[in-house]
Chains A and B, each alone.
Chain A
């Protein structure tokens, strides 16, 4: 087939080579613009380093709301703690027994992903006096499940506080309840 004769440019029409060049330039510019847009947006995004402990506080709240019989009347653990604070001699045994039972019941086993051994999670609850005063660190009572060890789940500040609750005792006395979690290898 004979080649087509060279087409004559019309007046005002750009040569096709120029049009192609303009299209390439625009294409490259568009790519650059969108690259800039996306790089700008991605800059501020980081993946979260460590997920928050979502069950924090739930266990402690559940513990404090657990129904318990005190002197033949159904109440909850929070109120038993109050009774204990007001009359330690009378209620300490009941508080210890009920609490340890509850904490033991909630222990759980899991396989450690690094060491591949089976571990048991245990709990410890401390009852402290006050929160806003010098007694802040004065521990009045510690309640531990059977598998709790001092090798507790910790962060840079020491044992991680997995839950805390201010409990009223009277109009001017509060108790400060703190939950810790510990672990040990299953024997």
Chain B
């Protein structure tokens, strides 16, 4: 057969090109993936260990739930079935409407009005259905905070079953790092759980728990300087498990105004800047301002701790709908009354500025100290320090600060003040 011109050189060129293509592919692949530096089976072994560790924590929570229920039932009986709920807005208890008589809550009130008697019933027979989960949650939170690790508090939606059975469904999964912070890749294991329905000796109750786990290629950053927390970026409208790992140094570098506001959120939960048991997510700019405030605080020998930050609309809806331990919906069936204690999510829907915690640019913050309570002088000191760092305070709450263009922030800046209603 007659060869065409250039047929043989073409074959040789093709082969040479293939060799180059292979080398190129090798370079690309090696650039794409980190070197495999784990021992065979190490990842699987770590996964199993993490599962067991999670099981150990769940066992602690189960036992704590059991004891919390026992104590709650005891205290509720002692208080005549009444539990004064904390008014989250004012930070003080919402007092029982008929008050106390000789240190006992009044169930039934008869007031002599001169011309007659005013009779008032102050006890709702069904109140145990919301008072018990409320007390129970308070106790469980205390147990959880006493655990050496950082477990989220206020993290369960409770339903009461027959015969003193409480079932808690977690809002957020428990998260455990499979590898330590020295690891290059730090996938996490997440466990969505229903905590135990618990038992009191002498009563018939069952125990239900379901644990589901999944892994995702997210992680937290490695060790950092003591005064600067580790943090991770969360893409907007994504769940925390879809996070991107960054180091603290990277955080500081990236925060120099290179990323547009409101596009990214930073999660610094489980860092020294976030109160144990709480979730702390803010925008990048807010995070930078928190770091600035922390820097100022440290110069004065103080340390700050954030205990409230971004709140998802779903969480606000759950609060309003009575799906949290406070059970506002059953406690205050009338919406106008309930609105005194929790913001109606409809209000936020119509005007998002009314719910600044939605934005990730509002925080609740205090000085880190052993005792939770702060003196007036300390609140004033905090106020001054936060204003210096660029924050604006909500005038009705000593602990609530906003930044970065929220409606309240803009109004305060326009007026040239550091606090505003």
Contact = CB atoms under 8 A, between A and B. Distances in A.
Interface of A: 10-14, 19, 22, 26, 29-30, 33, 36-37, 40-41, 43-49, 51-52, 54, 56-58, 61, 64-65, 71, 73, 75, 78-79, 82, 131-132, 164-168, 170-174
Given A26-B16, A30-B19, A47 B48 contact: no
Contacts of B55: 57, 61
Contacts of B202: 73
A44 B36 contact: yes
A175 B415 CA distance: 56
A78 to B, nearest CB: 6
Contact of A44 (B35, B64, B67): B35
Q: How large is the interface on B (under 10, 10 to 19, 20 to 34, 35 or more residues)?
A: 35 or more
A14 B10 CA distance: 12
B56 A165 contact: yes
A171 B65 CA distance: 11
Interface of B: 2-3, 5-6, 8-9, 12, 15-16, 19, 22-23, 26, 30, 35-37, 39-42, 45, 48-49, 52-53, 55-56, 59-60, 63-64, 66-67, 71, 139, 142-143, 146-148, 201-202
B8 A13 contact: yes
A12 B6 contact: yes
Contact of B8 (A19, A52, A54, A65): A19
A46 B39 contact: yes
B26 A37 contact: yes
B23 A167 contact: no
Contacts of A165: 56, 59-60
Contact of B142 (A40, A78, A132, A171): A171
Given A64-B59, A73-B202, A171-B142, A45 B12 contact: no
Contacts of A58: 52
Given A40-B26, A54-B48, 9 more contacts: A12-B6, A37-B26, A45-B36, A47-B40, A48-B42, A57-B53, A61-B55, A79-B66, A132-B148
Contacts of B64: 168
A26 B3 contact: no
A174 B146 contact: yes
B19 A29 contact: yes
A168 B48 contact: no
A85 B148 CA distance: 20
Nearest to A71: B201
Q: Which 5 A-B pairs have the closest CB atoms?
A: A52-B45, A171-B142, A44-B36, A48-B39, A73-B201
